[in-house]
Amino acid sequence: MGAADRTTGQARLYDALTTKGTAFTQRERLELGLLGLLPIAEKTIEQQVAHCWQEFSTRRNDLDKHIYLRALQDRNETLFYRVLSEHIAEAMPIIYTPTVGEACQRFSEIYRRPRGLFVAYPDREHLREVLRNRPQQDIDVIVVTDGQRILGLGDQGIGGMGIPIGKLSLYTLIGGIDPARTLPIVLDVGTDNAQCLEDPQYLGWRHRRIGDEEYHAFVDDFVSAVRAEMPDVLLQWEDFATAHALPILEKYRDQLLTFNDDIQGTAAVALGALYGATKVAGRPLAEQQVVMLGAGSAGMGVLDMISRQMQAQGLSEQNALDRIWVVDIDGLLTADRTDLSENQRRYAKTVDWKLAGPAQLADVVHNVDVGVLLGLSTAAGAFTEPIVRELAGKTERPIIFPLSNPTSKAEARPGELDEWTDGRALVATGSPFAPVVRDGVEHRVAQCNNVYIFPAIGLAVTASKATRVTDEMMRVAARTLGEASPALADPAEPLLPRWEDVPAIADRIAVAVAVQAVADGVAPARTKEELAELVRATRWSPSY
């Protein structure tokens, strides 16, 4: 066997997408020029998984576990996803929230090997070249961030790259998107995080964030380059600041296959959880008074979808808006405020409650027949005991969703909500929490994690060849998720399915979304049975 053949064998061995490591058989080692490059023992993938999980379990803390899994991904993608698929519940909080938050904060410190594309403003004249340098040419899904609003942690600059990497891991783990056809991207437009700028290890462009005019021109050039290089790709926007997120979505949603997970994905999973909660509460969403603490892009996205669902249940648009109350850092959104965006102003109220100052959350709960309390404010502990107890006095089954990420930013802890409502609250959180123990029985807490939705969207549009992501496609995803709520069969069960069940549920959501894409005229006409077969055929599985 010649030197060229041996080089080919080594390339196969060290390519994370094609390697089998110690699972290469003796015949494969002989055929591929791998003899002597591996210990002689042959392992099955099951043995490799057991070995990796033992290694994982010895790591000291969650960040060390995160680093271990990322290193595993860098050397063997198939094994990485096989390990995750056999330990979904344990691995989810390590590869994504909440551990990914710390990984973003320490991205430059723990950086080992490049993954994805770093699209830096100083390279703005070469964006097509940057995209052409992507490791794999055929891409189905891009997740892009500019690092400005990472979870509830704020501006992390280039460290935000941890989010697209983590999200795309979930696209593959849950949605079955081929990892070779995913691409994480960070737009490095500087950072206003002084800690990053002063950190000698910081790997990003050491510069304050560029101004809005330059920023929007850069984003426009980036989108143009993506359309030219990968016209059919799904481009997901992730963790952009409120001031940029909605304008970017509105500008580009009709130009290419794109959505914003913070706005649309968060809304869909929250609505899915509300579907089960309102069924258990015995009071339809259209008959509820809903209060949201937080008026950022994610919060407003949730409320917009709730409003559309109320209208689907028979309310006029104005009647739906009248049932939704929004409180931000300055208090209730009211008609006399001059600091509201056009979308926020739709929810503004005129009240005369004889207060000394602007109405706050406690005032709204006191004066309104609230049945649903949602939080996307990153204001830790904002759902206080007096507020929760007053809410619980207004309805038999109060629905309370503290949705802020990470765990440290949650508006309340599930155990507190359970105690303050005597176990009557229907709870879903944004971050993972330990089960609530009531009367000696553990009750799992539903986590409104966007992973219930976005991987299924990716699978749906990839399988159906959709060209756009419509509002109705997202609402169908929410409804299909809601129909899978364990609480519908047993009110003592959580509002959302177990992680182990999510890949199968993602297939159901993907088929429903694909059917809606055809109905909306954004995908080629096919029957539901044909779309179901395409979804099955598209799903990648981690096996050699």
Nearest to 238 by CA among 302, 161, 292, 303: 161
Q: Is 96 a catalytic residue?
A: yes
The residues that bridge with 402 in the sheet, in sequence order, are 375
**Phi, psi (rounded to 5 degrees) for 543:** -145, 150
| SS3 assignment, position 239 | coil
Residue type, 263: I
Burial of 205 (0-12, 13-18, 19+ CB in 10 A): buried
Of 81, 96, 215, 252, the active-site residue reads 96
Q: What is the dihedral of CA 517, 523, 528, 532, to 10 degrees?
A: -100
**Phi, psi (rounded to 5 degrees) for 327:** -125, 130
Burial of 185 (0-12, 13-18, 19+ CB in 10 A): buried
Of 20, 65, 167, 279, the active-site residue reads 167
CA distance readout (Å), 61 to 53, 66, 155 = 14, 9, 24
CA distance readout (Å), 275 to 236, 280, 309, 480, 485 = 25, 9, 10, 10, 8
At what angle are helices 62-75 and 77-86 packed, to 10 degrees?
140
Rg (CA), the chain: 24
- Structure tokens that stand for 114 in this block: 């490049």
Q: DSSP string covering 270-283, please?
A: HHHHHHHHHHHHTS
Catalytic machinery residues = 96, 167
